[in-house]
Amino acid sequence: MKILMVGGGGREHALAWKLNQSPQVQRIYVALGNGGTAKHKDFDNIALTDKVALREWAQAHAIDLTVVGPEAPLAAGVVDEFRNHGLRIFGPTQAAAQLESSKAFSKAFMLRHGIPTAEYQSFEDAALAHAYVDAQGAPIVVKADGLAAGKGVVVAMDIQEAHAAIDHMLAKDAGVQHNHGVARVVIEEFLEGEEASFMVVAQGLTAVTLATSQDHKRLLDADMGPNTGGMGAYSPAPVVTPEIHAKVMREVIHPTLKGMQQDGIPYTGFLYAGLMIDSAGKVKVLEFNCRMGDPETQPIMMRLKSDLLELLWAATDADTQQLENIELQWDRRCALGVVMAAANYPSTPEVGQEIHGLPSDSEEAMVFHAGTVFQDGKVLTSGGRVLCVTALGDTVKQAQHHAYALADKLHFKGMQMRRDIGFRAIRR
């Protein structure tokens, strides 16, 4: 089978790597791909991003299945475009992707269907937003309504910071893709607890759960510094005990799929619930994503033993029984991924540095590429998050040791990485 993978980050490299292990996969085309996918003998990068151009290309090249990695093409309606032309594609429609692309949509959805989440209000008017912050006090959380590439959330520890975030997010040039051209902010209650990433493969009312994971969003060790797209992750997340797991399915995943169905926008695709779990075991949804997490995908894919193609094929089959019959097998070991980021990430990452020391692929440790290009036989940096060094180990500590041993052999000028990925699990 020929597969088209839409995207070019570490998540897409990991998904393509895993799909390629399926005996049924002949060739994988990655749009746009990166240096890691460019170097791979079974992959071809293709230079298309527009949904119509992608659909025409998929038709012309008899692609059997398209898998979408990032949120932007989903929010732009790539799935609708493919489906309207009878092509098989895995991901949510544009309407369903609003669970991620609009915070106002997802908060109203959760309220309507009784899915636990932080108390909130949404505002278009800056004066009302400021007054609300004054009345609520800090800490408080300000979120832009629209895709903001991971920069749309400010956890304000004092009210000055919250006021500044409101002004910034409601400004025209804030770098947020406003929904329907309207700048809007969601202001919500600050939640305490431990975060976990909970992902499923969904089709209508059916969900197959993936292994749990935990991401590290802050740039620096001990969760200091600015928020990023994610500086590392590991799987499984011990905070998700079997009891919490059952509760998340009961209180979050099933009601969400049922709610989407009831609202006339049935959900197919990866569904990611970002959770906050408090010390009493109460679970609240911080956010939904309509895709896999990055870098969570990298450790999750290293642990998946089942055939990913079979899973995604079943989830795109007209016969919904196919997905219900799937039971996934996981490596009992832990996997841990460390992101190597460019100098000046997350603000204005430096690009064009040569990367030295890249190993070849292995089943036990992988260097997944993100912001890289392959040029004249060299791999150069081309984005903020450059690589995700991911390794297996019998314990989190061993996976961590294994990943850092490999990361320490890699080098590019100005690279940044955290040294404490997995610390919460190790502390337990």
Cβ–Cβ < 8 Å for 178, 162: no
Q: Is 153 in the site for ligand AMP (CB under 6 A)?
A: yes
Stretch that binds ligand AMP, among 127-135, 182-190, 230-238, 246-254 (CB under 6 A): 182-190
Least distance CB 150 / ligand AMP (angstroms): 7
The two tokens of residue 271 are 């569904």
Q: Is 191 in the site for ligand AMP (CB under 6 A)?
A: yes
Q: Within positions 99 to 138, which residues make up the interface with ligand AMP, using CB under 6 A?
A: 118
**Residues touching ligand AMP, count (CB under 6 A):** 14
Please list the alpha-helical segments (H only) found in 49-184: 51-60, 71-75, 78-84, 98-101, 103-112, 126-136, 159-170
Least distance CB 287 / ligand GLY (angstroms): 8
Residue 153: which of ligand AMP, ligand GLY, none does it interact with, CB under 5 to 8 A by kind?
Answer: ligand AMP
Q: Which is nearer to ligand AMP, 190 or 330 (CB)?
A: 190
The one-letter code for the residue type at 290 is C
d(CA 102, CA 109): 10
d(CA 318, CA 308): 18
Cβ–Cβ < 8 Å for 380, 386: no
CA triple 136-98-131, angle to 5 deg: 20
φ, ψ of residue 82 to 5 degrees: the values are -70, -45
Least distance CB 149 / ligand GLY (angstroms): 10
Q: How far is CA 428 from CA 10, 238, 275, 280, in A?
A: 28, 8, 19, 16
Least distance CB 294 / ligand GLY (angstroms): 5
User: Which residues sit opposite 272 in a β-bridge?
Assistant: 199, 289
Least distance CB 62 / ligand GLY (angstroms): 32
d(CA 134, CA 249): 36
Q: Is 230 in the site for ligand AMP (CB under 6 A)?
A: no
Q: Is 294 in the site for ligand GLY (CB under 6 A)?
A: yes
Residue 331: which of ligand AMP, ligand GLY, none does it interact with, CB under 5 to 8 A by kind?
Answer: none
Residue 230: which of ligand GLY, ligand AMP, none does it interact with, CB under 5 to 8 A by kind?
Answer: ligand GLY
Q: Which is nearer to ligand AMP, 196 or 392 (CB)?
A: 196
Q: Within positions 176 to 215, which residues make up the interface with ligand GLY, using CB under 6 A?
A: 215
Q: Is 369 in the site for ligand AMP (CB under 6 A)?
A: no
Stated as kind and residue range, the H or E segment containing 336 is: strand 334-341
Stated as kind and residue range, the H or E segment containing 53 is: helix 51-60
Residues that bind ligand AMP (CB under 6 A): 118, 141, 143, 153, 155, 188-191, 195, 217, 274, 286-287
